[in-house]
């Protein structure tokens, strides 16, 4: 049995709800929070010396895909039980440049904006690279879910937060705040790679959306 109600909009709602849960919604999460520890697989700590050497921004995207049911070699997790354990230094590099099979360069279109559930990579020099998940429009701004909210800081807070910044188009390039949008990963492409049942625990979703996903996710595989 499959659900005719399982549309891309339902997947977008699920991705947003999962990321809002991961980020503690409007409150945020510290690096000691149980959900933060789940998303980062306890890598960002346990103490200040370890924290100052670890960036967690890429963990959110890999965790989101794992929770949605993606199991592929480029996914950098230990708890997905597939293709070996987490690999150091690969959280960002595995999301673009040929490792991930569906990353895209933003179009040369001033009206473009990432859609809810899309993973977005921003940087200017490379060393300032950041990964976030788009949650949808917030007036003229783009609302995003962010891990590594405090950078590679020894402090326990902030760890994760939701932010909003205006997306601008300058000289043919898109900028989120002051950093250029270099790549984005459409949620639609990720959904086609789902191969196991999604785990929506913690996500605040209407019952009909949960039912649609639970009944219809298999029909989405390979579409």
| pLDDT, tens only, 181-204 | 999 999 999 999 999 999 999 999
pLDDT at residue 49, as a whole number: 93
pLDDT band, very low/low/confident/very high, at 131 (cuts 50, 70, 90): very high
Length of the chain: 223
pLDDT at residue 222, as a whole number: 52
pLDDT at residue 1, as a whole number: 38
Q: What is the pLDDT of residues 154-166, one digit of tens each?
A: 999 999 999 999 9
- Alpha-carbon distance 172 to 170, whole Å? 5
- Alpha-carbon distance 173 to 22, whole Å? 30
pLDDT at residue 40, as a whole number: 98
Helix (H) or strand (E) holding 173: strand 173-176
Q: CA separation (Å) from 171 to 132, 168, 175? A: 23, 10, 10
| CA-wise closest residue to 81 among 90, 71, 91, 89 | 71
Comparing 35-39, 151-155, 199-203, the range with the smallest average pLDDT is 151-155
pTM above the 0.85 mark? yes
Give the mean pLDDT of the chain: 94
**What percent of the chain lies above the pLDDT cut of 90?**
90
Residue ranges per domain, the chain?
Answer: 8-220
* DSSP code string of 35-75: HHHHHHTT-S-SSHHHHTT---HHHHHHHHHHHHTB--TT-
Q: What angle do CA 135, 137, 141 make, to 5 degrees?
A: 110
Q: CA separation (Å) from 149 to 7, 30, 214? A: 32, 10, 32
Buried b (16+ CB within 10 A) or exposed e, 136-169: beeeeebbbbbbbbbeebeebebbbbbbebebeb
Token look-up 């788009």 returns 134
Q: Does pLDDT of 57 surpass 80?
A: yes
| CA-wise closest residue to 19 among 88, 118, 152, 150 | 118
């Amino acid at each position: 049995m499959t659900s005719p109600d399982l549309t891309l909009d339902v997947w977008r709602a699920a991705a947003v709800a999962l990321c809002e849960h991961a980020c503690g919604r409007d409150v945020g999460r510290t690096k000691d929070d149980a959900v933060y520890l789940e998303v980062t697989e306890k890598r960002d700590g346990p103490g200040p010396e370890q924290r100052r050497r670890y960036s967690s921004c890429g963990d959110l995207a890999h965790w989101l895909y794992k929770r949605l049911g993606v199991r592929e070699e480029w996914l950098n997790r230990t708890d997905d039980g597939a293709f070996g354990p987490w690999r150091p230094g690969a959280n960002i590099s595995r999301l673009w440049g040929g490792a991930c099979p569906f990353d895209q360069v933003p179009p040369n279109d001033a009206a473009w904006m990432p859609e809810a559930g899309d993973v977005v990579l921003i940087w200017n020099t490379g060393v300032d690279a950041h990964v976030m998940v788009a949650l949808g429009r917030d007036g003229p701004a783009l609302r995003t879910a962010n891990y590594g909210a405090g950078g590679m800081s020894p402090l326990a807070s902030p760890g994760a937060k939701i932010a909003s910044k205006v997306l601008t188009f300058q000289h043919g390039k898109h900028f989120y705040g002051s950093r250029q949008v270099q790549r984005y990963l459409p949620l639609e492409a990720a959904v086609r790679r789902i191969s196991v049942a999604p785990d929506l625990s913690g996500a605040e979703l209407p019952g009909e959306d949960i039912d649609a996903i639970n009944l219809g996710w298999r029909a989405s595989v390979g579409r």
